[in-house]
Chains A and B, each alone.
Chain A
């Protein structure tokens, strides 16, 4: 759901949801032979797991453009990296029953808007980066005055991989799909731990976001009477909201697996320019890599980043305490309460709606809502949500409760900011110790560390060294919006003494570029200019890790940047400096709503009905997200048609609304590409469409602006701002594409077709292999489609279909050029098309019969702590039940 900082918030509030993964590493013998881990042996984590789900984009992204290693030199190398990483994850979990690999397919329209914003930004950043590199190269050559280094530099500095290729319908995704199928088949042939395992690959041709395809699968299995309610699920992925999705399954034996992003090796960083270690790009001399020696990466193999578990079962225990409301006039139902809580998390952030201005995760927005919910639950007469459906009247209670606190929240936010700035200035002046004199008024999730302490002051969870503030990586070489806004000054202040000539030059180029852009756009105070200035900030901040390229990482970094207390120039929030952009909405001053609607929506302040309209669209959005999480995509075409959220106060008479969704049309891959990619990434789209993006006569040229505004919208970091891109108008896009479709090559046309999930098993799978071959490949073969018998498939329910032209026990061919991995002459794997069981019934948020909850992880003192804190949390701005004040 992309709540920035959600992961940190959760893990500091509920520390026991996290534990380290115990990973067995392969043995390297003295002669260099590697003894792989025997994963048929018991899992060293003390528990066996049944199903592993890979939200594959979380592996593809970091493997294709890693942050701490040189980028793979071509797609084949990328695939090998992906295999390696996937293998490591699978070996960690050792799933005994099923592995599901889900790559993002075409997304619902509501998601495409966010993808569009990310990809346009990424392209803009990539452009800046490339330009910078070129400039740098030129200067280097000029400075050194010879051609000696040129060749070396050119081989070393590669054109950056366009991560926008990681979108359904691109040739890259084809290669990925073929590679994954090959690799899984190869593993089924060679790894004894895979013999009993079923593998489902849902590649990018299958519509839906990866994690939601996984959720659909889990729900489909839960509805099957043969599903084992004690199935142990593990999902790998980077999004913090996977834990929310885990909760939403109501499968209690559920874990999220992820890299420990806060772990940082003390080793020197990798230079992103030359790919060598021992220096970063600011100190790059552009020298060719020494073949052997102390800088060679093989001698200094970086330790693998450790992984962590996030235990949904433990979060369930915390929530059971946190959310409990005694003496209800109806039955307390933890499953329903959990759904309501997940729903409230959507208010604070999700990928489909801008979050409400009053709710910030770092200001404990979830606690604020939880308090309102708890106070009003008895009078609401029931839960706000039911199996993914929102009760609008009850939702009105929550929003009205928030509306009452809204003004106070904005004022308090301002006070905290002012105090923070004052403290920053004081520190700067006195060069004193890093005081924590902010005294934020929010509730601290860890009261023991000081009731009035700002939440940022939270220490690491007890007994864990995962989150110590000092170990959090600072953005490497971060050039923030603020630095840019201040022009040269920050660069001038930088310590030049330690820099090489090249890096000094480079710094100067950067500041020059930044200054120039600033000069162009700093005049005027009108809100539009405000936005443009912010655009600059974003563009020039190309080197900050919080880029669209690394958005997930960025979210964590963002958290870091604001939470470590602005200890350097680089982390100073924009707007705190003298020349910062002026926030003309001023949420903390009366009349803010008028100014907000005038400036953001360009609508008359008196037009109150408009505000209600926005609020109704937003409520539709909440209903959409809720359905999406709990039942599957309710509409492929619905989207929130504004760039900004309304205020809580704008939600009125929700009870009178009726919300229905039309399933709608699922986009074809090329339509999605045309909807989300900027013209700069058109290489990933068939050429026949390029004109539509670039030609001045294109009827849809307006969808592909070269320049676009980014409105900081009161935020500090440029990348947090709102990209003011025009929304795609689907009918116009489709009409324009239709005129070109007949020009598509047959291969391209094939790539535009929706695909199907594939099930792979080994011929050693007892029961299932015989069943399938008997149906499809025996003398008395029946229809080319049949329903799996879960009693023979190890619990898997669904239907399988024969793949046209496929015959088992053929040969397995490595799909890439350089034969880094072998062909297999006698392929012992079997592939069929797989269809999840469909159900016309609503999936219910209930525990299944026969479920055995894991032994409690929380002790009495944990429970007391949570209970004690939950009494007061979220009530800084009031939050009494509405019944006392009328409604």
Chain B
């Protein structure tokens, strides 16, 4: 494989990105798709879920033995996102105008980079004037393996802890609006089989400075109902679980976590995040609502950790400008950040 010389995008200390803001567009959903319980792709909203609070307390570990888990060792690339965009374009009779097309997860990594030290690798292709970015699946698998071999702080296996997150979703959502759901279903959600193959994904158009970006990402639930007119804001709900905050140290950790929550929700235009707080051994004890919009201010107000949403946005905007200027030809490009590195590299891995 022939690697071309890398260009580098520096990651400066955050204050360098402070100051004058960057124009961002409100994300608007223009298409969506669903994976059903068998992870079969459908061009509709059939896997949309409605939020209804869980019965408390609840054992998040219950049913972990029957967890229907999606096999993420298979690289799905951008397949379903592209299929959805394609169908949309056919309907409209014209191509979408985005300069960058990617999953939400990739942009989350970019946005968090000024405050985060995590390594990442992505592949990018220029096609029809748009840059399509996906995760470098092989790198992700390697990283996961290394992390799973590291000793853990708590006694809980990481697989169980990730189950808790899915369990919380099952406990907090309904397949139809409350008014159309039976009491029996609502009261017996703790006995539902947890299945993370099923997903609803929103495909949005948004903008960072000069770049129009199309993002696809899973949304957990809706608060009320989708608006009649496409493009109007949607009351999505993001569901998260977190250990109960028992002291200032926990609050520090939580405020750090809030940055990721905020970025994820910001990217798809999810206005509300509901956090299920649990005990160390996985008993859900309470939930708390966060308004995505207010999170940066609330964290700044507590002064425990230092992150600024505007820095994330500015950084991303500059990065996308740089990326568009540097991905100049066909082939596959690699976007890479090494652990703790203060730059993001870009180089071509494959000629067309």
Contact = CB atoms under 8 A, between A and B. Distances in A.
Contacts of B224: 225-226
Interface stretch (A514-522, A822-830, A839-847): A839-847
Summarize A's interface: helix, strand, loop or mixed.
loop
A386 B178 CA distance: 17
Contacts of B181: 841
A773 interface: no
Given A225-B178, A331-B55, A386 B227 contact: no
Contacts of B86: none
Interface in B209-240: 223-225, 227-228, 232
A427 interface: no
Interface string B166-187: 0000000000011111110010
Contacts of A844: 178, 183, 186
Given A225-B224, A331-B55, A791-B227, A849 B183 contact: no
A389 B170 CA distance: 28
Contacts of B51: 849
B183 A225 contact: no
A839 B223 contact: no
A771 to B, nearest CB: 10
B52 interface: yes
Nearest to B222: A225
Contact of A224 (B52, B179, B186, B227): B179
A848 interface: yes
Interface string B42-64: 00000000111101000000000
Contacts of B55: 331
A640 B126 CA distance: 78
A387 interface: yes
Given A225-B224, A225-B225, A226-B225, A849 B52 contact: yes
A841 B179 contact: yes
Given A225-B178, A849-B51, A842 B183 contact: yes
A490 interface: no
B316 to A, nearest CB: 31
B178 A848 contact: yes
Contacts of A848: 178
A111 interface: no
A222 B186 contact: no
A844 B180 CA distance: 10
Interface string A754-797: 00000000000000000000000000000000000101000000
Contacts of B183: 386-387, 842, 844, 846
Contact of A225 (B53, B179, B186): B179
B179 A222 contact: yes
A223 B224 CA distance: 11
B202 to A, nearest CB: 18
Contact of A841 (B53, B180, B225, B227): B180
A225 B177 contact: yes
Nearest to A223: B179
Contact of A839 (B179, B186, B227): B179
A225 B227 CA distance: 11
Interface residues of A, number: 18
Contacts of A841: 179-182
| Residue of B182, B183, B225, B227 ringed by the most chain A CB atoms within 10 A | B183
A841 B181 CA distance: 8
Interface in A211-228: 222-226
A524 interface: no
Interface residues of B, number: 19
| Residue of B51, B179, B182 ringed by the most chain A CB atoms within 10 A | B179
| Residue of A791, A846, A849 ringed by the most chain B CB atoms within 10 A | A849
Nearest to A226: B224
A849 B179 CA distance: 11
Summarize B's interface: helix, strand, loop or mixed.
loop
A145 interface: no
B223 A850 contact: yes
A386 B183 CA distance: 9
B152 to A, nearest CB: 34
A846 B50 contact: no
Interface string A312-350: 000000000000000000010000000000000000000
A839 B52 CA distance: 19
B138 to A, nearest CB: 42
Contacts of B178: 223, 225, 844, 846, 848-849
B225 A849 contact: no
Contacts of B227: 791
A850 B53 CA distance: 8
Contacts of B180: 223, 839, 841
Nearest to A229: B178
Nearest to A851: B53
Contacts of B177: 225
Nearest to A845: B183
Interface string A113-125: 0000000000000
A223 B177 CA distance: 8
Nearest to A228: B224
Interface string A377-400: 000000000110000000000000
A842 B184 CA distance: 11
A846 B179 CA distance: 11
Interface string B97-135: 000000000000000000000000000000000000000
A691 to B, nearest CB: 50
A125 to B, nearest CB: 47
B171 to A, nearest CB: 13
Given A846-B186, A849-B51, A849-B52, A789 B179 contact: no
A226 B177 CA distance: 10
A846 B174 CA distance: 15
Nearest to B237: A849
B83 to A, nearest CB: 29
A853 to B, nearest CB: 13
Nearest to A792: B228
A727 B223 CA distance: 51
Contacts of A387: 183
Contacts of A222: 179
B172 to A, nearest CB: 9
Interface string A684-707: 000000000000000000000000
Contacts of B50: 225
A222 B181 CA distance: 13
Given A223-B179, A224-B179, A849 B53 contact: yes
Nearest to B51: A849
Contacts of B225: 225-226
A329 to B, nearest CB: 15
Contacts of A386: 183
Nearest to B226: A225
Interface string B17-30: 00000000000000
A789 B52 contact: no
B270 to A, nearest CB: 16
Contacts of B232: 791
A789 B223 contact: no
A386 B187 CA distance: 13
A850 B237 CA distance: 12
Contacts of B53: 849
A351 B252 CA distance: 61
A226 B179 CA distance: 11
21 contacts: A222-B179, A223-B178, A224-B179, A225-B50, A225-B178, A225-B225, A226-B224, A226-B225, A331-B55, A387-B183, A791-B227, A791-B228, A791-B232, A841-B181, A844-B183, A844-B186, A846-B178, A846-B186, A848-B178, A849-B52, A850-B223
Interface of A: 222-226, 331, 386-387, 789, 791, 839, 841-842, 844, 846, 848-850
- Lowest 7 CB-CB distances: which A-B pairs, in order? A223-B179, A225-B224, A225-B177, A225-B225, A849-B52, A226-B224, A844-B183
Interface of B: 50-53, 55, 177-183, 186, 223-225, 227-228, 232
Given A223-B178, A387-B183, 4 more contacts: A226-B224, A841-B180, A841-B182, A848-B178
